[in-house]
Structure 1
Amino acid sequence: MTTGDYSGRRVVVTGCASGIGERLAAQLADRGAQVIGLDRRRPRVHVESFHPVDLSDSESIGAAATAIDGPVDALFNVAGISGTVGSAAIVGVNFVGTRELTDALLPRMPAGAAIANTGSIAGSHYQRRRDLVTGLLATTTRDGARRWCDEHADELGTGYSVSKDAVIWYTLHRSVELAERGIRMNCVCPGLTETPILADSRRARGAAFLDGIPMPLGRVAEPAEQASVLAFVNSPGASYLNGQVLWVDGGYMAGVQTGRLPNTTGAAGKADGS
């Protein structure tokens, strides 16, 4: 098996019906993977099998996980939401739903398997919010996470940034634990990308909201560009990559960390486009 080759590997992709997840499912199928797609609606691209899932609903997640028989060699947690549905709902999908599905599928994942979580440039302040997010990570149930959100409503803003902070910290903690089983976990954090989330942000805030966000490459990313990085992260060619946060943002975070660019993303109340 060569770098990037998924021949004979069974992979699960959430959010396969649109955006990055749709492009990823297509790329993995082209590389020989048996793609199992999960989403609220059936994808337009070809997948080996499809199971509907609502990441805001624990029963739906359990049913989807049960419907997937056999081993899972790679899990791509791509699905997520933004918008004005409420901070608890956003955290419930982006973090809690991701965690529940991962936990449900881990018993099917053998040594050598890999998990790629999708963070966001909206999580660029994750280190500053570590103390805040620690309480969310400590919750063990969906109801517990909802109560935590209610107790910290003033600090959550829209909930999107904090939900992605939680995904990043979840990745860092779990990657160390899962390494003992020979399973890798990493987090890919897209910058602004032409996805339905970006379209929602444009509708809610107007196209001008992009004017204040530096883009070193002069443009937003295409979904296929993010998908190719996710595909690499879980591939055999990345077999020693574990516990990493990869900023796929065209150089934005490099500019922030060197002081050449202001950090205009990641505020708790700010919508994102990844």
Structure 2
Amino acid sequence: MSDFLGYQGKRVIVSGCFSGMGEATARILLDLGAEVHGFDYKDCALPLASFTRLDLRDEAAIDSAVAGLSGKFDALFNCAGLPNIAPVLDIMKVNFLAARKMTQAITPLLKEGSAVASIASTAGAGWPMRLETHKALASTPDFASGLKWCEENIGEIWEGYAFGKEALIVWTMMEACHLIKKGIRLNCTLPGPTQTPMMPDFEKAAPKSVIDGITQPINRYATPEEQARPMIFLNSEAASYINGVPLLVDGGFTGGSATGQIDMSFMSVFQEEA
């Protein structure tokens, strides 16, 4: 496995390594022989090569954290995120603006042939219906201008979590066309419901019937490790021709619903609320 993925001796960065999918990603990368550098707002217990505490809502904190790194790197994993119960602008800062900012800040440190993978969500699957809106947000050049766009379009981003994940997906597809010219691939994963420390927050915000419905047809939550491994694959040498891809990791829900094989009656709760 380690030879196939090629992480032995590679230098990687995991943003959001304290818990959940990010912790699983960092832990598996260590097992694969990588030198792992981590960022998060809480201390990470893993034996990382370096760790920096930072608040991803703060652009200056991101710049400071990246300035503390030295040398060249082979991969960046954007794993940090806020749940849908957080304030909407905080969600946009962490789930989209910070992931974009981190990628932009780390790009000069990435070797040719390196890769970046971010965690989006199946909650962002509605991006095609708002493509032009997301292209406008993605076209803002930096954290500050992106935040200004969000503040001026609060009626568009009111969903917070779903909109932020849609934004990350669209930006990934757009930016991948530019980063590849520098020899850097960019992809994201779209996890389905996963048993992480954030899951209780999602369960508070949505009826259990809805969350259970989205687990079809596999009918269980993913583990953090089941979400970490696809990200690790995307950033590996084994995926050297995969670029600009939003990879579904949802146990078959999207495929099943698109082909009419999923019982979608759980969605009636939203029709009743309307």
Pairwise same-fold verdict (TM > 0.5): yes
| Residue 122 (structure 1) aligns with | 123
Deviates more, 1:218-227 or 1:126-135: 126-135
| Residue 238 (structure 2) aligns with | 237
Q: Which residues in structure 2 correspond to 1:197-216 (within 5 Å)?
A: 197-205=198-206, 207-216=208-217
1:19-41 deviation per Cα after TM superposition (whole angstroms, max 9, x unaligned): 00001101000000000011011
| Residue 189 (structure 1) aligns with | 190
| Residue 21 (structure 1) aligns with | 22
| Residue 272 (structure 1) aligns with | none
Deviates more, 1:5-14 or 1:26-35: 5-14
The yes-or-no answer on 1:47 pairing with 2:30 is no
- Whether the aligned pair in 2 keeps the contact of 1:18 and 1:196 (CA below 8 Å) is yes
1:175-202 deviation per Cα after TM superposition (whole angstroms, max 9, x unaligned): 1111112111111111110112212112
Q: Write the distance in 1 (CA, Å) between the matches of 2:106 and 2:215.
A: 38
Q: Write the distance in 1 (CA, Å) between the matches of 2:126 and 2:208.
A: 24
Q: Write the distance in 2 (CA, Å) between the matches of 1:233 and 1:211.
A: 28
Q: Which amino acid aligns with 2:217?
A: P
1:52-71 deviation per Cα after TM superposition (whole angstroms, max 9, x unaligned): 12111011100110011110
Q: Which runs of 5+ in 2 are unaligned?
A: none
Work out which structure has the larger RCO, using CA pairs closer than 8 Å and 6 or more positions apart in sequence: 1
Q: Which residues in structure 2 correspond to 1:60-79 (within 5 Å)?
A: 60-79=61-80
Deviates more, 1:210-219 or 1:108-117: 210-219
Deviates more, 1:157-166 or 1:58-67: 157-166
Aligned alpha-carbon RMSD (Å): 2.1
| Residue 113 (structure 1) aligns with | 114
Distance 1:76 1:214, change over 3 A: closer
- Whether the aligned pair in 1 keeps the contact of 2:117 and 2:231 (CA below 8 Å) is yes
- Whether the aligned pair in 2 keeps the contact of 1:82 and 1:160 (CA below 8 Å) is yes
Please report the TM-score for the alignment, with normalisation by the length of structure 2: 0.91
Partner of 2:199, secondary structure, is: helix
1:114-157 deviation per Cα after TM superposition (whole angstroms, max 9, x unaligned): 11111100111111111221221122233322332233222323
- Whether the aligned pair in 2 keeps the contact of 1:202 and 1:209 (CA below 8 Å) is no
The yes-or-no answer on 1:7 pairing with 2:5 is no
| Residue 147 (structure 2) aligns with | 146
- Whether the aligned pair in 2 keeps the contact of 1:86 and 1:158 (CA below 8 Å) is no
Deviates more, 1:76-85 or 1:93-102: 76-85
| Equivalent residues, number | 267
Q: Which amino acid aligns with 2:93?
A: G
Q: Which amino acid aligns with 2:185?
A: R
Q: Which runs of 5+ in 1 are unaligned?
A: 270-274
Partner of 2:247, secondary structure, is: strand
Report the alpha carbon displacement of residue 101 of structure 1 after superposing the two structures with TM: 1.0
Q: Write the distance in 2 (CA, Å) between the matches of 1:64 and 1:111.
A: 22
- Whether the aligned pair in 1 keeps the contact of 2:192 and 2:214 (CA below 8 Å) is no
Distance 1:212 1:52, change over 3 A: same
Q: Which amino acid aligns with 1:60?
A: A
| Residue 31 (structure 1) aligns with | 32
- Whether the aligned pair in 2 keeps the contact of 1:87 and 1:149 (CA below 8 Å) is no
Report the alpha carbon displacement of residue 172 of structure 1 after superposing the two structures with TM: 0.8
Q: Percent identity?
A: 38
Deviates more, 1:129-138 or 1:32-41: 129-138
Q: Which amino acid aligns with 1:259?
A: G
